[in-house]
Amino acid sequence: MTQDEIQTLRDLLKEPKKIVIVPHRNPDGDALGSTLALYQFLKAENHYCTLISPNNYPEFLKWLPGEKQIILFETNREKAEKLIAEAEIIFTLDFNNLARTGEMEKSLEKAQADFVMIDHHQQPDNYARFRESEPEMSSTAEMVYNFIKKMGRLEAITPDIATCLYTGIMTDTGSFKYPSTTFNTHLVIADLMKRGANNGEIHTAVYDTNSYDRLQLLGQALRNLKYEKKYNTAYITLTQAEKDANNFKKGDTEGFVNYALSMKGIILAAIFIEDIPLKPADNKEKIVKISLRSKGDFDVNNLARKYFNGGGHRNAAGGKSYKNLEETISDFIGILPEYEDELNEKSKDENIQKTTV
């Protein structure tokens, strides 16, 4: 946003407004952390504020402050559509294409509200009147912190808001290890801790609450790990049957792909997860969900966009396939020769960096 746009938005927010805040479908730690923080901030500024999530989210995020106030579009559609239709301002966070909201997309497209996009993914759509798009930023949560700062209201960050923002930044930076973690990111984290975010408690709540079933599912995933040495690539598969056998719950596979990326010499890692509806009448597509991760400059965002109906960031992206699991894996292996030189060159760079540290 330009300075003039920031001032215009600041002026709009001087008087109480009907506001709806929306994360993407299947919200992760950054999506929920950023939206819950903004929700609490705007509520305290005397706005009539609602947070509507397209669908449910993982159990390990259901401790976040304010989480009980979230309305789920998938289970409370009539109320959610009414709130969207009546909204004067709609904030969309952690996505830049309305299709990322699933069945909520049509309701948002019909809305008469002014849209405000706050997002850090590449290639944003042009639906928002106010667009804060910073692909190099660590997380949308860090952007919300900066938004509050631009509003001149950093003093309004409560311990609960600080906790939500810290969670969003922590989860989207892999606990501050990804290249998007900058000097400024650490300054923001330090300020959030000063304002009440308890880093130890947050880390424990997110990462140290595994169920027995999730750890069994992780074991299965690691048994399915495959290594394409020629291409410095590793990938994991999980079938629907394997998920069912381990009582799969939403969010259970979060982070599994990083185990493949952690192998020595690996530049490209992927996980392919079969997702089959429980009943044919569930109005849900049979797909293979795909998560891609990379090291260095290898761009999985472009790979996901080109081949797997997805996108994301340079080093972390997602997608989906409408083919079966076996065909999807075959397609993935089939495209690796296209990237052979790049993957081998990146591997050399990785080894050079390690020997010079």
Query: How many CA within 13 A on the CB side of residue 280?
Result: 0
Question: 320 vs 51, 297, 305, 308, 310, CA distance in Å?
Answer: 27, 23, 10, 5, 7
Percent of the chain at pLDDT above 70? 95
Q: What is the chain's mean pLDDT, rounded?
A: 93
pTM (2 decimals)?
0.89
Give per-residue pLDDT as tens, 177-203.
888 999 999 999 999 999 999 999 999
Instruction: Report how far residue 132's alpha carbon sits from residue 213's, in angstroms, rounded to the nearest whole number.
Output: 40
Domain that holds residue 241: 212-356
Residues 180 and 246 in one domain: no
Q: What is the CATH number of the domain that holds 122?
A: 3.90.1640.10
Mean pLDDT over 50-67 rounds to 96
Give per-residue pLDDT as tens, 126-150.
999 999 999 999 999 999 999 999 9
Among residues 207, 228, 251, the one where a domain terminates is 207
Give per-residue pLDDT as tens, 233-288.
999 999 999 999 999 999 999 999 999 999 999 999 999 999 988 765 455 678 99
Residues 188 and 323 in one domain: no
Q: What is the CATH number of the domain that holds 229?
A: 3.10.310.30
What DSSP state is assigned to residue 48?
A: E
- Residue whose structure tokens are 């950054």: 30
Mean pLDDT over 79-104 rounds to 96
